[in-house]
Structure 1
Amino acid sequence: MSDLAWLSYSLQDFLMFGPEVFLRLFARINQDLWPWQLLVVPLSLIVPWMAGRPEIVWRRLALVIVAAAWILSGGGFLVNYFGEINWPAVWIGWAFTVQGGLLAALAVTRGCPRLSIGRTGWFAAFWLAAVVLLPWLTVVQSGEPTTLALFGLSPGVTVAASVLLVGGFGRATFWLLLPVPITWVLFSTATYWALQTQWLLLLPLATLASLVAGVWLSPRPVQSPGPQSAHHGPVRR
C-alpha cells in the first residue's frame, strides 16, 4: 500500500462500530446496574455540600465519592463495555482506575481542598451543572432516555465534573492528576468526531471549561509575612 493511499482514510475507517452501537452501551450499563443509580445520583448531588464543609471528614468523603466514580466509570464502562468494541478504551479504563486510586490516597491523606466561602457557591453551581445537565447529551443524541449518562457510570460526565477539584491540590499534584483527563479529552473528541455525534462533542468542551473553572476556584496560598513586615512594623505599647 502506497503512502498516498493512507490519505484516503478518515477517523471513521478506524472504528468498527457506529453511533447506535456506542450509544447503546449507556443503556446497557444502566440496565445492568439498576437500581444502584438510586444511590449513585444522590451521592453525586451532595458532593458540593461535603466539599464545602469545614470538617475534614466530610471533605474526605467527597473525594472518596469522586475516586469511586473514576474507578467505576473506568473499570466498569470503559473496560467492560466500551472495551468490547474498542480496545484502546481498555487501556484508558485502567488509567481511570489508577487515577481513582490516586484520588483515594489524597482522600485519606488530605481530603478535598477547602474553598473560600465566596467560592463554595460557584463550585456547587459548576458541579451541579455538570452532573445534572451533561448526562442528557446522550439522550438528546440518541433520542432514548435509557441512554442517560450518569456521573460515576459515564466517564465523560465523571471527568467533566471532577476536574473542578484538580486545581486545588497544589502545583505538583495538579500536574500528576492532569494527564488522564487530557488524554480522555483527546480520545473522546476523536471518537465523537468520528462517530459524528455532534452533541457529545460538548462533553470534552465542558471538561476543558471545568478545568479552567477549577483552577480559578482553587484556594490561593496564604502569603506569610516576610522578615521586614515581621520586625519593622510599628510596635504599640
Structure 2
Amino acid sequence: MSKNAKHYDYYKVEGPAVKTLIAGYDAIEKQRKEIIDGILREFGAAGYTDSAGWGDKGGLIQNLAWPSDHQFPCQMTVKKRDFIGDQHVIIARGKANTTEGREFNKKLDASLRAANEKLKSLPVWQAYIIEHYGVLRTGFGSAADRGWGISMLTTYGGRCPGRDDCLLFAIPNSKAKEPGEVKHGSVEIPAEFQQLTYGQFYDLTTVTEKEDAE
C-alpha cells in the first residue's frame, strides 16, 4: 500500500450514462490527434512535450521534439536531449541572434499558439472525465522519505479495466487538522458516485495475469 493511499478517497461510477460519456470521448480524441499531427507535420517533428502543472493533465503542447539528425532551415540552439522510445530527439529553438532563427521561432510560436487555442476546448481523457463530474482537487500528501519535500496530489481517474460503462476516481482528502496536511478547496461528490475502500479500488484497477489470459 502506497503511503499516500490514505490521502485519497476512492470512488466508482457506473451505468448507461457513464457508457455514453466514455463513448463521447472518441470524437474529441480524433480532433486532438488531427491538430497535433498537423503541427508535427508542419515542422517535421517526431513528437512533443505537453503542459505540466498541479492539476494540469497535460492537455496543451509545450514544445516540439525533433529527431536529433533533423535538418533545420536555420541554425538552432538545442535546449534538451531526450528519447521517444528508442529514438534520440532534441528540443530546440532557432538561434535568436540570427534573422533566420528569429523568423523560425516566430513561425513556431504562432503555430503552437494556434494549436493550443484549439486544444483548450478538447481536453485530454483524464481532464474530460474529471471536469465532467467537477471533481478536480489538489492537496498535500506524505512527506518524502529522504530530504525535504512533500507529495503534491491531484485527482486522477480512468476506466475500470474490462468495462466500457464504469469509471474510477481517486480524490485527495487532505484535512487541515492533521499535521503536515493542508486542505485545498472542496468538491461536491456527485450522488451517483459509490465510495470504495482502497482495497476495492486496488482490486478493480489491478488486472492480474490470470484475468489477462481469460
TM-score computed with the length of structure 1 as normaliser: 0.25
Q: Greater helix percent: which structure?
A: 1
TM-score computed with the length of structure 2 as normaliser: 0.27
